[in-house]
Amino acid sequence: MTDAATFAAVFVALYIAHSVGDHWVQTSCQAATKGLPGWTGRLACGRHVLGLTLTKGTVLAPVALILGLPVTTVGVVAGLSIDAATHYWADRRTTLARLADRCGKTEFYSLGTPTHPAHPVTAEGGYAPTLGTGAYALDQSWHMLWLGIAALIIAAI
């Protein structure tokens, strides 16, 4: 098996697991509190990232075994560790918001929220909540970047 094929298979497994872990495994409490200041937010984010990382390992293991992927324990631990650390960093929310601001993406970050000048409204003119926010899009694209890096590390080590 080539390194490219290993990378592709690992990335697909991590991508699937990421979606499941970030949306199905994460609890409502974790989602609501992981960005809070102090230990409440840190612990909620830590629990979310732990569940997410376990999900990724659980999905990756059978893919690697069934396909006979030439991955090592060191590579998997290194890849999943960098993914977990960067996921935690972004999910604390203020960190990703600051990065978006520094990159000139503040308006896009606020898209779909009441702070955006063109926020979605109900027929009565009130704010209409939506999952389609700029913050969510930037969050997920950040995670995809690091999933790619994690897959590369796993395939290369």
- Cβ neighbour number for residue 4 with a 10 Å cutoff: 9
The pTM (predicted TM-score) of the whole model is 0.88
Q: What is the pLDDT of residue 152?
A: 98
Domain count within the chain: 1
Q: What is the pLDDT of residue 130?
A: 67
| Distance in angstroms (rounded) separating the CA atoms of residues 126 and 120 | 8
% of residues, the chain, pLDDT over 70: 94
Per-residue pLDDT at 42 exceeds 90 = yes
Domain of residue 99 covers: 3-156
| Distance in angstroms (rounded) separating the CA atoms of residues 148 and 155 | 10
Tell me the average pLDDT across 61-67: 98
Least confident of 2-11, 33-42, 45-54, 99-108: 99-108
- Length of the chain, please? 157
Kindly indicate the confidence band of residue 118, based on its pLDDT and cuts at 50, 70 and 90: low
| Distance in angstroms (rounded) separating the CA atoms of residues 42 and 107 | 26
Cβ–Cβ under 8 Å, residues 21 and 56 = yes
Tell me the average pLDDT across 68-90: 98
Of residues 116 and 3, more confidently modeled? 3
CA distances from 96 to 13, 29, 61, 91, 99 (A): 25, 20, 30, 7, 5
Per-residue pLDDT at 133 exceeds 90 = no
| Distance in angstroms (rounded) separating the CA atoms of residues 91 and 45 | 7
Average pLDDT, the chain: 92
